[in-house]
């Protein structure tokens, strides 16, 4: 006598199909999450790059201002305005010993 059980094989395939569908859904959700992180990182890099360019421009402007301030012609006019005299042969403080001159000596 033959026993027929027609639904026995379909349960295994439906379970397998359900597991595959679940893995596919989790893969899609995980992919969207990773893509969102990638987009956030790209925006952050673009913002940092923009800030870096602004800092470089600001640094160049500050250097230009500094070089204009310490230009030899500007220093000479500043010295004249403050009644300072240029000394061609300056006399420096010298010590007979090799010790340094400090406030505690």
pLDDT digits (tens, 9 = 90+) for 9-26: 556 678 889 999 999 999
The CB-based long-range contact list for 13-20 (8 Å cut-off, 24+ gap) reads none
The four Cα atoms 8, 10, 14, 16 give a dihedral, to 10 degrees, of 70
- The pTM is what? 0.52
Q: Measure the CA–CA gap between 52 and 71, rounded to whole angstroms.
A: 28
**For 35-58, what is each residue's pLDDT tens digit?**
999 999 999 999 999 999 999 999
CA-CA distance, 53 to 45, in Å (whole number)? 12
Residue 82's pLDDT band (cuts 50, 70, 90) = confident
Local confidence band at 63 (pLDDT 50, 70, 90 cut-offs) = very high
The HSE-up count of residue 87 (CA atoms within 13 Å, CB side) is 5
């Amino acid at each position: 006598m033959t026993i027929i059980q027609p639904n026995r094989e379909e349960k295994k395939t439906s379970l397998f199909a359900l597991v595959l569908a679940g893995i596919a859904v989790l893969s899609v959700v995980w992919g969207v999450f990773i893509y969102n992180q990638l987009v956030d990182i790209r925006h952050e890099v673009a913002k940092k790059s923009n800030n870096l360019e602004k800092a470089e421009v600001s640094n160049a402007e500050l250097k230009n201002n500094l070089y204009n301030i310490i230009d030899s012609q500007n220093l000479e006019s500043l010295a004249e305005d403050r009644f300072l005299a240029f000394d061609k042969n300056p006399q420096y403080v010298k010590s007979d010993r090799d010790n340094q001159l400090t406030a505690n000596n």
